[in-house]
Chains A and B, each alone.
Chain A
Amino acid sequence: MTIEALGAVSLSSLEAVPLATGSGASQGSDFLHAVGTGLQGLDGEVRHADMLASELAAGKGVAVHDVMIAMEQAHLSLQFAVEVRNRILDAYQNLTNMQL
């Protein structure tokens, strides 16, 4: 009976996520794709909140509640990303601490 080794998780493969469908990592690519899409969405929301905040500071007539809602949304998304990361890290540590 053969047990396959765990594939290496490298952060550099996260950067090439949108294009990483054809190459090596066949099992992990879907997951990495999901993580990459989520991170891109989070980045977009944070940037949007940032842009609204600087527009408000520049006096461009943005409503205050719009800025607060965008910031709150970005905050919730970031919190969500952090929780996902915590769960993943927990699972990874469970695997790496496994006695064989």
Chain B
Amino acid sequence: MVDQIMAATRFGLEYERLRIEAASHNIAVANTPSAAGATSSLLAVSAPFSAHTHDASPTVGHPVLVERGADERKVHDPSDPAADQSGMVSYPKVDLVGEMSTLISAGSAYEANVRAFNALRSMDLHALDIGGGA
């Protein structure tokens, strides 16, 4: 009945979920050393979405996780097996404060999407009551 609004809500839920997934992944790898010589990579969400839900043919794509290059954070620890010749171990440089606020904002945005969906749902149920005297 109202597939386009549902598609928009569904996109929002998927997007926020992926944001949380990316932030959790970035936090999880914050303290894992990257292999010697390899550049470490963190995750980010890319959203191919043109927000024209009022169009006849909305082009709602799917958000996807993409890797983005990360700066190195070098720590001197010669005993670590991942250390290079000069005894430095490199970790991806994760912006923990940023990831935490991503977690919070994605969580509440997910909630907002659920609320929008529920509003739409109760609107539909009310619409079905139109004229139903019995």
A-B contact pairs, 20 of them (CB 8 A): A63-B17, A65-B10, A65-B14, A65-B114, A66-B10, A66-B14, A69-B6, A69-B117, A72-B117, A72-B121, A76-B1, A76-B121, A76-B124, A76-B125, A76-B128, A77-B1, A79-B125, A83-B128, A86-B134, A90-B134
Q: Tell me which residues across on chain B come within 8 A of A86, comparing CB atoms.
A: 132, 134
How many angstroms between the C-alpha atoms of A14 and B85 in the bound complex? 79
Residues of B11-26 at the interface with A, using a CB-CB cut-off of 8 Å, are 13-14, 17
A73 touches B6 (CB 8 A): yes
Q: How large is the interface on A (under 10, 10 to 19, 20 to 34, 35 or more residues)?
A: 10 to 19
B1 touches A65 (CB 8 A): no
Count of chain B residues with a beta carbon within 8 Å of a chain A beta carbon: 15
Q: Which 3 A-B pairs have the closest CB atoms?
A: A65-B13, A83-B128, A76-B124
Kindly identify which residue among A66, A79, A90 contacts B128, using a CB–CB cutoff of 8 Å: A79
How many angstroms between the C-alpha atoms of A73 and B14 in the bound complex? 17
Residues of A43-100 at the interface with B, using a CB-CB cut-off of 8 Å, are 63, 65-66, 69, 72-73, 76-77, 79-80, 83, 86, 90
- Let me know if B9 is at the binding interface, CB within 8 A: yes
Instruction: Tell me the minimal C-beta distance from B119 to chain A in angstroms.
Output: 12
How many angstroms between the C-alpha atoms of A93 and B114 in the bound complex? 41
A65 touches B132 (CB 8 A): no
